[in-house]
Structure 1
């Protein structure tokens, strides 16, 4: 039995359920939230502001979507989701301009917000300051309200265990829509208490939200790159509502995850693309396990969105309380080395149990990189090189056409949905 360093008490999984106590062994204790250097975070935010991967890697995004759409069932699922999701995104954007319906009382409404969020089905809810340092450059001033209500909605358990599969992709999409609708209800509730509320749909996020979720005490960053929450691990979908309401901020918590993931490593070991780093590095002022994007996206594109790092997380499967209690009792990671946790099937490749990984051919990971114009110029150089350095008029015309297409692209979330659906912006 390991020495327990401290215990974390969290609300029950559902509204009205008893609180849950999570033991954190002393050997796993670290800092609340995540190790970071504030000055470095500030500097990177100022000198190298973040930008959406939908822009910086648009070439591979378009490539991946074309590849996924070759799967007829997945293509129909995506189109249906995009049609339904578009209305939710537009409704969420409109909340930025909605005025409160009554005069505020001036009372702190933190607990009222949390109770309502739980009533609406959110698994986790916490409140912190909206942090502009984690904002995409293209989303600057998208929201002007100072407080961030961080909301995590649980993705259904059973379909998630079938990852990668069509069923898992269906529930993944439907969870985003369900939480989007719930967010609109929460925003209306805050308006009814006399305050403004800007609902930010997850598909229209202003930047990477996990830092604010960690600051609000809802979990810690896992080796898989997801937020690991107490009840569902990484099996959540995240969104925010910003507000000017009278609220009290929550505080970051040390759940022991920062150290536990280095012991566990199941997601790292089971990733078919070998896209997860075993060791932590410092990145933009944070200490974390960095995802290797170039080895992740090709697998996601070819295998139903992948998600194996979600499926194989023991905290997703068994819950943080059970995992930490088992570790405290035995020094072992619950489920590690078992087919129940680690096994998965890849279409056309077969089943892979503990210790088994697929092998791909040399060209499997080849994909375009960067923006559309970046990729166009790289193709231009390759063509010229292949021609012995000769630049033909045809090559120049092709480059001009691609640059023109790039300049005409829109990177707004709704505009990209419209483009992928090949419809006019007012089709709904």
Structure 2
């Protein structure tokens, strides 16, 4: 579904990012470089170093294994989570959906992946283990841990709304056995604000966000309808309109919350400045305007990448009765790429 430009960019990004993912995958196996000072709390040393590297949000909490993905259940080594958020470029973000915004999106992942490897080295120099959870090979659903670490709250758009840059952040974690003190959750008033705001819900091009919260997997939240979201994301440069139109992302939490408390109104709501966006090939959409899609647009592949690949290969065999050498090679190459992405190891077949 990608445009040619987007496909080539993602291909290059994956190539550039591969060494970072591989280094992160084995980072937990590297031994500390020194003996720790027994009884010394190193929380603030790590926080200071993380901020020097460029991370805007840094928090400490327990690594909550309830949120670990099935594929990473046996991989996570340490009990403490260092939650790290790196801000993506403000002005590029305001061009969502666009290639410029995607450059900011994926470029930020590349930057923080490298910063985290450096931070892990620093933690080892203090005498402790450090396991980097690559932002491009996530081990878990991270937002609940960021909330526990006091770094924000879950917004109606399904993203972490942080006090410093709203949802304009890319999240990752380093787990460690270092002696650290956990931060506490903070009620920033996001839940009450989102109940009244609803701009992201109303402006979603795919109508994928819902107004009312539901209980889902043990949490009360605004549930994203994946089948309505993913086709738009894949077709239109990652979409991200829900990030773009969030007042907290656009204007900053202090300004938005002060305005909300003083007036009861949502800063920017109903204006072109906040709610306007343009979609390639469909034009500009201001307040109360949304694009339309034909019914087949949302007929999208389900399952994992390898399941989809096998399904497509099976259909090709059924249609043709056999597979050529070129078909078989193409299938093997694509499968190897998927397995490499999933495992972190080169799975050349």
Same fold by TM-score greater than 0.5: yes
Q: 1:123 Cα deviation (Å)?
A: 0.7
Q: Is contact 1:163–1:344 with CA below 8 Å preserved after alignment?
A: yes
Task: Provide the rounded CA distance (Å) in 1 between the counterparts of 2:320 and 2:282.
Answer: 41
Matched, 1:359 2:285: no
Superposition CA RMSD, Å: 2.7
Q: 1:363 Cα deviation (Å)?
A: 1.4
Q: 1:254 Cα deviation (Å)?
A: 0.8
Task: Provide the rounded CA distance (Å) in 2 between the counterparts of 1:395 and 1:338.
Answer: 52
Query: What CA deviation, in whole Å up to 9, does each residue of 1:236-272 have, x standing for no partner?
Result: 0000000000001111111111121111001001000
Q: 1:213 Cα deviation (Å)?
A: 0.7
Matched, 1:140 2:73: yes
Task: Provide the rounded CA distance (Å) in 1 between the counterparts of 2:312 and 2:342.
Answer: 24
**Residue 18 (structure 2) aligns with:** 86
Provide TM-score, normalisation by structure 1.
0.74
Residues 283 and 397 of structure 1: is their aligned pair in 2 closer, same or farther, counting only changes over 3 Å? farther
Residues 75 and 395 of structure 1: is their aligned pair in 2 closer, same or farther, counting only changes over 3 Å? closer
Q: 1:122 Cα deviation (Å)?
A: 0.5
Runs of 5+ consecutive residues of structure 1 not aligned to the other structure: 1-66, 384-392
**Residue 203 (structure 1) aligns with:** 136
**Residue 270 (structure 2) aligns with:** 337
Residues 158 and 99 of structure 1: is their aligned pair in 2 closer, same or farther, counting only changes over 3 Å? same
**Aligned ranges 1:12-411 → 2 under 5 Å:** 67-68=1-2, 71-106=3-38, 107-371=40-304, 373=307, 394=318, 409=335
Q: Is contact 2:22–2:344 with CA below 8 Å preserved after alignment?
A: no
Residues 87 and 413 of structure 1: is their aligned pair in 2 closer, same or farther, counting only changes over 3 Å? farther
Residues 378 and 279 of structure 1: is their aligned pair in 2 closer, same or farther, counting only changes over 3 Å? farther
Q: Which has the larger radius of gyration?
A: 1
Residues 351 and 274 of structure 1: is their aligned pair in 2 closer, same or farther, counting only changes over 3 Å? same
Query: What CA deviation, in whole Å up to 9, does each residue of 1:191-211 have, x standing for no partner?
Result: 111111111111111111111
Query: What CA deviation, in whole Å up to 9, does each residue of 1:309-339 have, x standing for no partner?
Result: 0110111111111110010111101111111
Provide TM-score, normalisation by structure 2.
0.90
Task: Provide the rounded CA distance (Å) in 2 between the counterparts of 1:167 and 1:418.
Answer: 28
Query: What CA deviation, in whole Å up to 9, does each residue of 1:20-50 have, x standing for no partner?
Result: xxxxxxxxxxxxxxxxxxxxxxxxxxxxxxx
Q: Please list every run of at least 4 consecutive aligned residues from structure 1 whose deviation after the TM superposition is greater than 6 angstroms.
A: 374-380, 395-398, 410-413
Query: What CA deviation, in whole Å up to 9, does each residue of 1:214-242 have, x standing for no partner?
Result: 11110000111111100111000000000
* Higher RCO structure (Cα 8 Å, ≥6 apart): 1
- Give the secondary structure class of the aligned counterpart of 1:86: helix
Residues 133 and 412 of structure 1: is their aligned pair in 2 closer, same or farther, counting only changes over 3 Å? farther
Task: Provide the rounded CA distance (Å) in 1 between the counterparts of 2:342 and 2:215.
Answer: 33
Q: Is contact 1:86–1:414 with CA below 8 Å preserved after alignment?
A: no
Residues 259 and 117 of structure 1: is their aligned pair in 2 closer, same or farther, counting only changes over 3 Å? same
Task: Provide the rounded CA distance (Å) in 2 between the counterparts of 1:186 and 1:240.
Answer: 11
Task: Provide the rounded CA distance (Å) in 1 between the counterparts of 2:293 and 2:178.
Answer: 53
Task: Provide the rounded CA distance (Å) in 2 between the counterparts of 1:142 and 1:411.
Answer: 21
- Give the secondary structure class of the aligned counterpart of 1:364: helix
Residues 320 and 414 of structure 1: is their aligned pair in 2 closer, same or farther, counting only changes over 3 Å? farther
Q: Is contact 1:164–1:346 with CA below 8 Å preserved after alignment?
A: yes
Q: 1:414 Cα deviation (Å)?
A: 3.6
Task: Provide the rounded CA distance (Å) in 2 between the counterparts of 1:413 and 1:180.
Answer: 20
Deviates more, 1:364-373 or 1:169-178: 364-373
Q: 1:93 Cα deviation (Å)?
A: 1.8
Aligned residues: 339
Q: 1:156 Cα deviation (Å)?
A: 0.5
Task: Provide the rounded CA distance (Å) in 2 between the counterparts of 1:253 and 1:395.
Answer: 57
